Amino acid sequence: MSRVDLHLHSTASDGTRSPTEVVREAARRGVSGISLTDHDTTAGLEEAEAEAERAGITFLTGAELSANEPGRSVHILAYGFRPDEPGIRRFFSDYRAARNQRAASIVVKLQEQGLRIELDDVMMEAGEGVVTRAHIGRALVRVGAVPDQQTVFGRYLSRGGPAFVEKPPTPPARVFDMVHKAGGVTVLAHPGRTHRASTIRRWVSEGLNGVEVLHPHNAPNVRRRLAALASELGLLRAGGSDWHGPDSARAELGSERVPQEWMDSIAESARVLQDEQNGAAAPD
């Protein structure tokens, strides 16, 4: 059975392999389709799509967008959207600036904890990519301030930690609406880890289109519950490895047996939405 991977990260955000290398790894592993879903950016999509065409792999435009509610982060996978739509381009631009400011604030907090780290260390680690907490963790390890990433997040960067800084207030409903206006569909990333069914139902009423059923952190009982919820509510189903590179201590690319038909359904839903938008915009 053909399998796809709809949750992948590259050096455009916090992955350790370039978009081209991500696609080549997918081809090497026999994956038939992918979506590159970097955090709050589309910077790697053009490169990845070109390589996917050369490799004969089906490609779906994607990104993992940041949202939040009081006391919790919400990650939303966006698929099939138009990257050049002004609203979503503005979101990515604003969020890149906000992430840079967040990184600067985190560095100050880390310095207050007695850690020897500078913002330049973090930006060097991020390179051209959108800066994330993972880059901060890697920079801390590289300069010898902490022994490993687990220590960084366990002691400092997780929610409630002394160096945690919340992202700008971004209600999920705002993200759903923005993605829809760009002709895309929205899927809740790794929902089994933190979100209750009642919360997912509320987000569906606000515009959520699907749930990530298959994810390395979703236990078998969670997968069954999410699959049942998707069937009940008519939601799209998605899945992927959340791969960040071979040296990231995460699941291997293509390790989740995500069927091609799930990818096809997501792409078709985005096409239908865009056809409706084009029809509404056409002159009488």
pLDDT for 252 equals 95
Q: What is the pLDDT of residues 111-146, one digit of tens each?
A: 999 999 999 999 999 999 999 999 999 999 999 999
Residues 130 and 258 in one domain: no
Domain tally for the chain? 2
Q: Is residue 164 part of a domain?
A: no
User: Does any domain span residue 97?
Assistant: yes
Q: Is position 179 within any domain?
A: no
Please answer whether residues 12 and 244 qualify as being in contact, where contact means their C-beta atoms are separated by less than 8 angstroms: no
User: Residue 281: is it exposed, middle or buried by C-beta count within 10 angstroms (0-12/13-18/19+)?
Assistant: exposed
Give the span between the Cα atoms of 117 and 69, in whole angstroms. 30
Find tokens 């990650």 and name the residue.
75
CATH number at residue 73: 3.20.20.140
If you average pLDDT over residues 231-253, what whole number do you get? 93
- 77 with 96, same domain? no
CATH number where 111 lies: 1.10.150.650
Same structural domain, 224 and 152? no
The per-residue pLDDT for 1 is: 62
**Which of 157, 176, 193 marks a domain boundary?**
157
- Using alpha carbons only, what angle is made at residue 149 by residues 5 and 31, rounded to the nearest 5 degrees? 15
Q: What is the pLDDT of residues 165-202, one digit of tens each?
A: 998 899 999 999 999 999 999 999 999 767 899 999 99
Please check the confidence at residue 240 and state whether its pLDDT lies above 80.
Answer: yes
* 254 class by beta-carbon count within 10 Å (0-12 exposed, 13-18 middle, 19+ buried): buried
Residue 107: which domain range?
A: 92-157
pLDDT at 30: 96
Of 141, 157, 173, the one marking the end of a domain is 157
Residue 151 lies in a domain: yes
Q: Which amino acid is at 206?
A: E
Task: Classify each residue of 110-119 as buried b or exposed e, where b means 16 or more C-beta atoms within 10 Å of its C-beta.
Answer: beeeebebeb
Residues 41-89 pLDDT 10s:
999 999 999 999 999 999 999 999 999 999 899 999 999 999 999 999 9
